Structure 1
Amino acid sequence: MDIQLLKVFFTTAQEGSISKAAQKLNFAQSNVTHKIQQLEADLQTLLFYRHNRGITLTPSGQILVSYAEKILHVIQEARQAVGDSSIPSGPLLIGAVETTAAVRLPKLLTKYHAEYPAVDISLITGPTEQHLHAVLHYELYGAFVAGPVEHPDLVQEKVIDEELVLVTPVSHPPVNSIHDVQERTILVFHSGCSFRAKLNQLLNEEGILPVKLMEFESFETIIGCVSAGLGISLMPRSIVAEPEHQGRIRCHTISGKHAIVTTVFIRRKDALITPALSAFLSEMRAHFS
């Protein structure tokens, strides 16, 4: 099987369009079409349905996509393994949920960068679901996400436990139960946020339907809106410790299993551990020990 043909097929499947694949690969559309036809002839099966709206993977094409992704990644790994020296260098893409990135990683990243300046480290922030997808599809070397994570293709290492607290305006009276705030507007991060999921679980178990949910893109905005009296939220104490100390908000402890969220570092079991990743794992374990 020709690797170039496989790359064209995989890119076309990812883009969902021959024209977009041609643009990404810097090929003529006719060239992309010809290479796909070559691969179909080689495999003696149809890989795409052609229709007025474009193309759609056939059942055979859907099967080949997962194999193509693994094959192309192994080839990339082989090049890295052959070219890698024992000195950590090259790219290292790491994902992290926003709270971990903001509070737990700056010192670790600063120390790592000082010790391994030849590594081009990039930190991608986003929700847990986004990072799970990216690690599974070889787009990230690893990621800090809400755990536990149970997946046969992933390895997880516990990093830290975070305490979650209810955050209200300063003027709010003490909260003894989630029922004390059931009439308040609830301010949440976007879908996929582990803290939002925890809050939903807590409300569901208590049989509470929120009066209103308002979604925001950043924790800074949520804290500002809570301070202004717009509503309440559930957030890690590490994020809200400073604004609480400044007298901008009030924090209320919660009890039970919803009070703690565990952060884990995940990576693929079958992915190559480059010198750069190996060094990062060592620094991470020392930092969080």
Structure 2
Amino acid sequence: MEFKDLEIFQAVAEKGTITEAAKEFNYVQSNITARIHKLENELKTPLFNRHHRGMSLTPEGKKLLTFSEKILMMKDEMKKAIQNNEEPSGKLEIGTVETVIQLPKLLSTYIKKYKNVDLSLFTGVTETLEEAVLNHKLDGAFVTESDFHPDLISHDVFQEELVLISDMSVPTLEGLKEAPFLCFSKGCVYRARLESWYRDQNITPQKVMEFGTLETILRSVEEGLGVSFVPKSAIAHLEDSGLIQCHTLPEQYSKIKTVFIRRADAFLTSTMERFIETIEAKKHVVV
């Protein structure tokens, strides 16, 4: 059994068809089929159910997928450990929640200093990003602090305050209790915090509207579509311009900490080590 056999097996399991897996590896389909048959013969068991829609894993295939993910992850960690050098280089895939306003400055500092690093940035909500780091799909992520999985380690980045925002038409907090709630999808800590406040106040939002970007949420609040709960640093310019107004909630709902998470068992390459050092150098408290 070769590493490539396991990589092909994982691709077929993920894509669900020989055709799509062949495209990923730039192989002819017969090569992919032969590799799968070879693996099944070695293990003396079918790994896939074949049907007109494609291929799905058998119970034995699902077991192999769990082991192959661990084996290939260890292979990557081994290569990183052996090939690691002092100069950061190669790929660095980082996730972030949408509202880390200080992130561009941090990334700019890092990229300007380490020009051989190919850094990619992906956005999402805290829960989704945590899952991606756990499953080795991201090297790390900037998220809101919560009760993380024990396989993750976190590094403090900064603290700040969440505020309830609305347009200028309703001057009091009381008048906003029945307004539609504009938010990110489930898994967003900001959303969970405001939902907690709603519950404690015995409030049922008139409507909950999910959006994909912070910009759309802010524009919708400006237009009076509803209220949202966001970091104060993200909307200071809008408040100063008189486009929205902020309403303060008690500290138990409003105080948050942004942290950088990574797998505790991942080999700390010079690329990641320098990235963490950059975070530590830029760490500050937002008030």
Same fold (TM over 0.5): yes
Matched, 1:282 2:258: no
Amino acid at match of 1:268: R
Tell whether 2:265 aligns with 1:270: yes
Secondary structure of the structure 2 residue equivalent to 1:80: helix
- SS in structure 1 at match of 2:160: strand
Aligned to 1:59: 59
How much does 1:13 deviate?
1.0
1:143-200 deviation line (CA, Å, top 9, x unaligned): 011222421321122322231111011231221x5xx422212222234322122222
Counterpart-to-counterpart distance in 1, 2:147 and 2:270: 25
2:126 to 125, 128, 136: 128
Partner of 1:156: 154
Partner of 2:4: 4
In the alignment, structure 1 segments of 5+ residues that lack a partner are: none
Are 2:189 and 1:194 aligned? yes
Structure 2 counterpart SS, 1:251:
strand
Q: Report how far residue 259 of structure 1 moved.
A: 1.2
- What is the alpha-carbon distance in structure 2 between the residues aligned to residue 150 and residue 190 of structure 1? 19
1:201 shift after superposition:
2.3
Kindly report which structure 2 residues correspond to 1:95-134, keeping only aligned pairs within 5 A, or say none. Answer: 95-100=95-100, 103-134=101-132
* Residue of structure 2 in register with 1:248 after alignment: 243
Deviation digits for residues 232-281 of structure 1 (CA, Å, limit 9, x no counterpart): 11111111111001111000100042112222211112212111100011
- Tell me, yes or no, if the aligned pair for 1:166 and 1:253 is still in contact at 8 Å: yes
Query: 5+ unaligned residues in a row in structure 2: which ranges?
Result: none
Report the TM-score when normalising by structure 1. Answer: 0.91
Q: Percent identity?
A: 43
Q: What amino acid sits opposite 2:46 in the alignment?
A: L
SS at match of 1:56: strand
Matches of 1:38 and 1:204, distance apart in 2: 57
Deviations along 1:37-75, one digit per CA (max 9) or x if unpaired, are: 211121222211223332221222112212212222222
* Matched-pair contact (CA < 8 Å) for 2:96–2:141: yes
Distance in 1 separating the partners of 2:211 and 2:12: 34
Partner of 2:87: 87
Residue aligning to 1:32 = 32
Q: C-alpha separation between the residues in 2 aligned to 1:26 and 1:120?
A: 23
Aligned twin of 1:204: 199
Assess if the C-alpha contact under 8 Å between 1:166 and 1:235 holds in 2.
Answer: yes
Q: What secondary structure does 1:134 align onto?
A: helix
- Note if contact 2:88-2:271 (Cα within 8 Å) is conserved in structure 1: yes
Q: Residue 7 of structure 1: CA displacement?
A: 1.1
| One-letter identity of the residue aligned with 1:151 | H
Residue in structure 1 matched with residue 76 of structure 2 by the alignment: 76
Whole-angstrom distance in 1 between the partners of 2:16 and 2:210: 31
Distance 2:120 2:23 in 1: 26
- Alpha-carbon distance in structure 2 between the residues aligned to 1:8 and 1:122: 25
Inter-partner Cα distance in structure 2 for 1:19 and 1:119: 33
Q: Matched residue pairs, number?
A: 284
